[in-house]
Amino acid sequence: MIPVQGFDGQQVAVLGLGRSGLSAARALREGGATAICWDDNPKARETAEGEGFDIRDLSKDSAFDHISRLIISPGIPHLYPAPNPVIAKAWDAGVPVDNDIGLFFRSLATGDWDRFDTAPRVIAVTGSNGKSTTSALIHHILEEAGFRSQLAGNIGRGVLDIDPPGDGDVIVLELSSYQTDLARALTPDVAVFTNLSPDHLDRHAGLGGYFAAKRRLFAEGGPDRAVIGVDENEGRYIANQLSEGATDDRVIQISSGQKLSGPGWSVFARKGFLAEWRKGRQVASIDLRPIKGLPGAHNHQNACAAYAAVRALGVAPRAIEAALGTFAGLPHRSQIVGEKDGVTYVNDSKATNVDSALKALLAFKNIRWICGGLQKEGGLEALSAGFGHVRKAYVIGREADAFAVQLTGLETEACGTMDVAVARAVADAEAGDVVLLAPAAASFDQYDSFEKRGEDFVARVTAQLGN
């Protein structure tokens, strides 16, 4: 645990008692503060009370008397589409609002670091798609290269639940826009921006607000090195804002699909090969095509981001190449879950938006595509660029018929449920086909999470294949 510094003997309110909220409360108590906790869910309050925390309805008048700070969980809106009433009360009372990420960065360094030969370092990863795979891949490479590494944030453990880092340790954080938007302290050593596509638009009042939340990691954090995906204008903008000139190697530009030129530091993937260039010449190359855990151009972009991040810490190209070859991938992200009679079954339940689903479609051919769910803003038109890889779509979700109608030019079947979709896809599949779950939609019309949806797909495939 990382004890929170700076609030010894003070009362700090915690709103939202899920994983990050309870973790923050424990870390505050470990640092000498009194955590005053509240959640609208009675079961969550009961759990916190069972751990000895004070429970106070923070929506009541005078609830913020003697409170030094309010810590909120990522899922609680603090500005758009409207601020939570408790947050509005904190504003009125002049109480600063923060989250567990802010507490982490203000509390990580301690006096013990003065004895270390190499201070611990933090690599923070954000972006719309690929940040989980990129974070896990960085962590995997570091461990394979002999570093002590911990993975936390939006993946793995809560940021305040990790062990205090030792001499030369590295902490890898995946950070969502919900986390970067509010944190009052953001000071990673290396910050990574994978890409940007429309997502969480209601929470950020549009694409500009969403991008601004991501950009805070770089504008507020001032990382020593920044790894920036430049396949969208937003990434090019960040890279330009951070750089002092073409040869400034504090910025490492990455791309999937285009060759990056110039005298600076760049890592890019084209036709399945990763290349690193510095000062106008190529210094390393890796063939990514045989790596089963990283299929498709989108995963090659993830490989470029992870490669650049660990190169910034001095890891050698050969060590990175060896580690890439042993990366198994993450559950629900281009995860191969079965192969039989020449048919491959892939779980990409994490493809919850159009952009990530399109990347999955472009990664495979001869696809029996299981898609559908709670559709997000923006429509499905952009998916048409991948329709040439699809043999047939099997649509799930409560609005399966309406979803299927939008897939113009594809043969579709409105299946409604996962069991029907998997059964129909298995029955239709021929050798060389890929049965792919890439929903292009949220899961909440039928499942509690994309993980539950992916687990259902895996269970149905397993049953159909008789494994």
Binding-site residues for ATP: 127-133
333, 352 in Cβ contact below 8 A?
no
For 406-430, b/e burial (b = at least 16 CB within 10 A) is ebeebebbbbbebbbbbbbbbebbe
283 CB-near residues (< 8 Å, 6+ apart): 276, 277, 317
352, 132 in Cβ contact below 8 A?
no
Cα–Cα distance, 385 to 65 (Å, whole number): 56
Q: Summarize the annotated binding site as residue ranges.
A: 127-133
The DSSP bridge pattern shows strands 434-437 and 121-126 to be: unpaired
What are the φ/ψ torsions at residue 343 (nearest 5 degrees)? -105, 130
How far, CA to CA in Å, does 203 sit from each of 3, 71, 84, 89? 30, 18, 12, 20
Q: Token pair 């897939």 is at which residue?
A: 407
Cα–Cα distance, 38 to 49 (Å, whole number): 10
For 148-169, b/e burial (b = at least 16 CB within 10 A) is ebbbbbbbbebbbbbeebeeeb
Q: Token pair 């294949």 is at which residue?
A: 465
What are the φ/ψ torsions at residue 213 (nearest 5 degrees)? -65, -40
Edge to edge, what strands does the sheet with 273-278 contain?
A: 149-153, 170-174, 121-126, 190-193, 225-229, 251-256, 265-270, 273-278, 281-287
* 51 phi-psi bin (left φ>0, alpha ψ -120 to 50, beta other): alpha
360, 438 in Cβ contact below 8 A?
yes
Cα–Cα distance, 130 to 389 (Å, whole number): 21
Cα–Cα distance, 137 to 147 (Å, whole number): 13
Closest by CA position to 216, among listed 270, 269, 180, 169:
180
446, 373 in Cβ contact below 8 A?
yes
ω into 81 cis (within 30 of 0): yes
Six-digit token string for 21: 């909220």
